[in-house]
Amino acid sequence: MIGRLALAAARAAAPATRSHIMSTAARSFASEGSASGGGSGKVLLVVGAAAAGGVYAWKTGLLDSLSGSPGPVITAPAKPDYGAVRKAIEDVLDVDGYDDGSYGPVLVRLAWHSAGTYDKASGTGGSNGATMRFAPESEHGANAGLAVARNLLEPIKAKFPWITYADLYTLAGVTAIEAMGGPTIPWAPGRSDAPDSTACPPDGRLPDASLGAAHIREIFGRMGFNDREIVALSGAHTLGRCHADRSGFLGPWTNAPTTFSNLYFQELVNNKWRKKRWSGPVQYEDKSGELMMLPTDMALIWDRKFKPVVDEYAKDEETFFKDFAAAFSKLLALGVPGQAA
């Protein structure tokens, strides 16, 4: 409502005053759009060449068609500063009181789950569209708890309104991995945001942690990954922990859940694992009861084709980093125009 009143005033204002009012109205609309979190574009804004500092201008020709105009679009500056976005993400990673002191692992999970819905046969799903902003995808069981990550990124989206949610979600995962000591992940922008839930993929496209090797190959094969890439991507479990109130499972995979390393593979190979005796779903624990593995994790050492790759990564972190960077970059590019292999 505030934006509409400002626009009405702008139409009636003298030319000299009108420019100032239009600028104010634009900022008002931008704030309303950010608060909704929808990114659906209720304002037609263009970031001009001088807009890198946050100055917005109305696109030429719209001043005479303010009423009944088509839905607005926000475009990037001539030289969008993705480095500044990365810095803003890094600044919110570490925090006392959340899990192990870092939002990094949950941002990696957000990027992974945003992209891991891709289906190469139909060309649907994937990171392009950022459809997890909408129900029903936001409410899929595999995405429980990811509202934490999406909400964390909202102030950054408001600060850099030109970046799409789809690019922001994936860049956040890349930045978090690198900030936690992981490899440099090749990443390129170019994703667009879906306007509504019609593009949401069906439930069931993400891995079910309670199943085994055949399920893993089915899920990853749908996206186009081979066995080596599957094991490499599974190495993301070197980060973070499971939460009983989200997935039903409980505990971290390693004793360094905020450091990206090959420790996950070392634990799989060198530790002793037994079924956890508890009222929750089947999972495995070490003799200390502090660390856990999921059935999908154990499948990597029970399967004769996965196991040699696990052994290799447990011994050679450099090779794991190289393979993970390539596979994760590929994952985030699936379904993105001009990027997917």
**Whose CA is closest to 237, among 225, 222, 221, 249?**
249
Beginning with the edge strand found earlier in the chain, give each strand of the sheet holding 56-58 in spatial order. Answer: 56-58, 45-47, 74-75
**Whose CA is closest to 110, among 246, 277, 282, 7?**
246
Burial of 107 (0-12, 13-18, 19+ CB in 10 A): buried
Burial of 206 (0-12, 13-18, 19+ CB in 10 A): middle
**Whose CA is closest to 115, among 317, 322, 339, 298?**
339
Identify the active-site residue in 58, 112, 113, 187.
Answer: 113
Beginning with the edge strand found earlier in the chain, give each strand of the sheet holding 292-293 in spatial order. Answer: 274-275, 284-285, 292-293
Identify the active-site residue in 112, 187, 253, 273.
Answer: 253
Give the other-Cβ count within 10 Å of 326's Cβ: 16
- CA atoms of 318 and 333, how far apart (whole Å): 23
- CA atoms of 251 and 278, how far apart (whole Å): 13
Cα–Cα distances (Å) from 104 to 42, 85, 94, 172, in that order, read 31, 15, 8, 8
Q: Angle of helix 227-234 relative to helix 295-302, nearest 10 degrees?
A: 140
* Structure tokens, 212: 């085994």
Is 302 considered catalytic here?
A: no
Residues taking part in catalysis = 113, 253
